[in-house]
Amino acid sequence: MPAKLKLLKNKLQNSEISFKEDELLSKHTSFEVGGPATIFIEPLDKTDLIKSLEFVKELDINYFVLGGGSNIIVSDHGYNGAIIAMSKLNKVRFQNNKVIAETGISLEKLCDKIAENNLTGMEFACGIPGSLGGAVFMNAGAYGGEIKQVIKKASLFSGNRGLIEYNKEQLDLDYRQSILQKNNLIAIEAVLELKPAPKSIIIEKMEELNEKRWAKQPMDYPSAGSAFKRPPDNYAGSLIEKAGLKGEKVGGAMVSKKHAGFIINANNARAADIIDLMITVQNKVKKKFNIQLYPEPRFLGQFDKLPQLDS
């Protein structure tokens, strides 16, 4: 283990911050692929999280903050550095129509808590895999809703400025984009502003949207959600299907037969299988329609090759 990582271990031990060594990231990603992380840190609260972030910045160690692991493809070689897992930062409180939530909470749990408090506006997110932090980072959306419509402000960590607070306008939310991506910021807490409604109506809407997802999407297989971003004035899934790629396989990875916009882990896929299949899809769609598809998930670790990325 490099000297910097040994120093990090000592700092974490002295601060009594929970961590593991050589933790397989396949256990923490929705695609269920990925090799080991050298150090896997599990902060219990915001204080531990900020300390962990300060340690890795101080020691100049490669690090990645992991939410629900739903929009990421991790290399089979793993990650040489520190993973900071947000899953235990999942507290939520309510102030009238406002929801103040730590960003490690899963969207599923958050939506359930919101429904219990008779607030509407987050139903669109009830079936989106992943965490609130990832949803803010990507401005996640579905069925006509997106985080941009409900967020009021967020507490962020900046490596240069420490803790900062941005309002909705400063977050610069757009289709699968935010200021967090551009400036390497980490969402720690978000404030959502919703509207009151009867719980029965909210739950009915959530169930309706979940039924749609299960009917149209391969929810019973590991995946990272939509494999490609929506191209202008078109749909990735439609283009992939018209290119005859439904059911296309590389190793254990497959283009879903239910929805061509999804690449699934059909049979113990490796990350390399998924990458090769994404490249195949890009090449065939480009050849047939002269449209370039770009991946929606992020890639973590060292890869021998990658699909064409959006600049």
> Which sequence positions are flagged as catalytic?
176, 226, 296
Q: Which stretches does DSSP call E strand in 12-149?
A: 19-24, 36-41, 63-66, 72-74, 79-85, 92-95, 98-102, 119-120, 141-142, 145-146
What does each C-alpha distance from 266 to 168, 204, 257, 260, 272 come to in angstroms?
A: 39, 31, 11, 14, 14
Interatomic CA distance for residues 47 and 42, integer angstroms: 12
- Which residue, 130, 159, 136, is CA-closest to 63? 159
134, HSE (Cβ side, Cα atoms, 13 Å): 29
Residue listed under structure tokens 């669109």: 124
Tokens of 292: 């370039």
Q: 3-class DSSP state for residue 108?
A: helix
